[in-house]
Amino acid sequence: MNKLKIVTLILITFYLFGCASTQREEQKLSRLHINKPIYGLLENTNSGYQFTEFRTTPTNEKKPWVNLKGGYLNNKLNSTRCGIGLLKGSKGELDCSIIVRDDMFMEKELDGFDAFARVILSPFFFGATLTGATFDVNFDQESFDKAYSEAFKALNIEELKKVEIALVALDDNYRKIVTTYDKATSSSLESLGMKINDKSGFYAGRTHFKDLVTITKNNISRIPTIHANTPLELHSNIQKQSFILASEWKKQSSTLNISCNNKRKEKFVIRMRCKNTLPVVDGRLVGTIDVDIIGINIDRVFANHFDLKDESLQLSFSNNLIGFTNLTSQFINIDSVAVYYQDKIAKSRKLDLEMAPNSTLNHQNKLKLIEFPIEWNLLEFKALTKKEAMKQELNFGFAIKYRVINTSVEKTLYLTKEFPLIELISG
């Protein structure tokens, strides 16, 4: 067997032996029998290990804060390695002085396998492996257990149980406030009153405006971290904080924030008189929002139906479509159509539409009103009231230039009518 194999066998044997000899039995610790965690700072004082500070929530501080409910270090550091070593890929490890902390119960142990390897391999590397050392840095459970047990004996258990009772009561009050307030928020639109003041004359009660209301809740203060140097002081501080929070919670949960969007709803122009806040009483929103309906917005107002005829041709207008019927036993050619609205005329392009005797234009070939160059902005009405609509009339009509094929005479079919605006928008 060559020399390198012998060295390897020795190293493996030494490593296994070393690992087996470092196993420890865990010590069973005393536990604080409470339901809510309380955290104590475990420090070495002139009187030995004691819990020198207390707090109600965990912290990310790299300090020996102990969860007294579970009996464990809250922010135990991870195992690592330090120093400079040749084997195990440990070259360039962290400086031991940075990570070996007695206060966090981190101990360093010389890596025996690494040290032994340095000696054995020294002849092969001309003594270079004898410089430096590598250490394993691990949590010292045994030292922590002793320190914890020593500090635990000095604890005033009865005061800590009073602390727990006060914390449970504070948490219960917080959850009760939040639950009740959330229910009031979720049902707020149902309990919100709407007083409709219809100035338009068109409101029939079918349109609702609650979807234009946004209701938001106030922030309920969370329970802060409470500190103290002793359990007695911690209990006192919790009681003081409970009194302060109860006052804040009562005020914060007593109102809901209201905002209204005064945009157009369907055809209605509205003004919502919206308060910034409304009260919450017995878990329900109490209050009413006044909604003034100013009028309606109507666009593209036109006659709903229109008919005119002579002995040869009939025009029928409905659903924004213009249709024709040839009343003769001869062919008719329609050359052009003009649409009259108010004092404006919208002419069609040249049609050259030929109709057979006694025929009616089918639906697909009817003329569409939208294809005429109508200035629709002249037929728009903003914030219109019923009273105003009853006073106004609009003029509409049609003119058709046509020819009977067997004659050379051009004829015109023409008529305009006055329509009450109230009838047009009602239809």
**pLDDT confidence of residue 133:** 67
Q: How many structural domains are present in the chain? A: 3
- Residue pLDDT, tens place only, 83-111: 655 444 444 456 666 656 667 788 877 65
What's the average model confidence in pLDDT over 119-130? 48
Say yes or no: 10 and 137 in one domain: yes
Say yes or no: 200 and 146 in one domain: no
Angle between helices 231-252 and 157-186 (to 10 degrees): 10
What's the average model confidence in pLDDT over 374-379? 95
CATH of the domain at 350: 2.60.40
Say yes or no: 151 and 216 in one domain: no
Say yes or no: 9 and 147 in one domain: yes
**Residue 206: exposed, middle, or buried by beta-carbon count in 10 A (0-12, 13-18, 19+)?**
exposed
**pLDDT confidence of residue 31:** 66
Say yes or no: 325 and 271 in one domain: no
Q: Long-range pairs for 241-245 at CB < 8 Å and ≥24 separation?
A: 241/170, 242/166, 242/169, 242/170, 242/173, 245/170, 245/173, 245/174, 245/221
Average pLDDT, the chain: 85
Gap between the Cα atoms of 194 and 201, Å rounded: 18
Give the end of a domain, one of 298, 320, 335: 298
Residues 6 or more apart whose Cβ sits within 8 Å of residue 113: 11, 14, 15, 18, 87
Say yes or no: 356 and 251 in one domain: no
**pLDDT confidence of residue 349:** 76
**pLDDT confidence of residue 7:** 43
**pLDDT confidence of residue 108:** 72
**pLDDT confidence of residue 110:** 65
Gap between the Cα atoms of 268 and 212, Å rounded: 13
**pLDDT confidence of residue 132:** 58
Residues 6 or more apart whose Cβ sits within 8 Å of residue 237: 226, 227, 228
pLDDT higher than threshold 90 for residue 424: yes
| Better pLDDT: 121 or 167 | 167
Burial 353-369 (b: 16+ CB within 10 A, else e): bebeeeebbeeeebbeb
Give the end of a domain, one of 155, 172, 192: 155
| Better pLDDT: 186 or 31 | 186
pLDDT higher than threshold 50 for residue 397: yes
- Residue pLDDT, tens place only, 335-376: 999 999 999 999 987 888 999 999 999 999 999 999 999 999
- Residue pLDDT, tens place only, 194-231: 999 999 999 988 888 998 999 999 999 999 999 999 99
Residues 275 and 259 sit within 8 Å (Cβ to Cβ): no
What's the average model confidence in pLDDT over 292-302? 93
Give the end of a domain, one of 245, 270, 298: 298
What's the average model confidence in pLDDT over 47-76? 90
Give Cα separations from 115 to 7, 110, 112, 201, 276 (angstroms): 14, 8, 5, 99, 76
Gap between the Cα atoms of 129 and 110, Å rounded: 15
Gap between the Cα atoms of 297 and 289, Å rounded: 23
Say yes or no: 363 and 258 in one domain: no
Task: State the residue range of the domain holding 68.
Answer: 3-155
- Where residue 132 falls (left for φ over 0; alpha for ψ -120 to 50; beta otherwise) is left
Say yes or no: 47 and 75 in one domain: yes
pLDDT higher than threshold 90 for residue 294: yes
Gap between the Cα atoms of 138 and 270, Å rounded: 72
Residues 6 or more apart whose Cβ sits within 8 Å of residue 192: 210, 213, 215, 278, 285, 287, 288, 289
| Rg over CA atoms, the chain | 46
- Residue pLDDT, tens place only, 130-140: 445 677 788 88
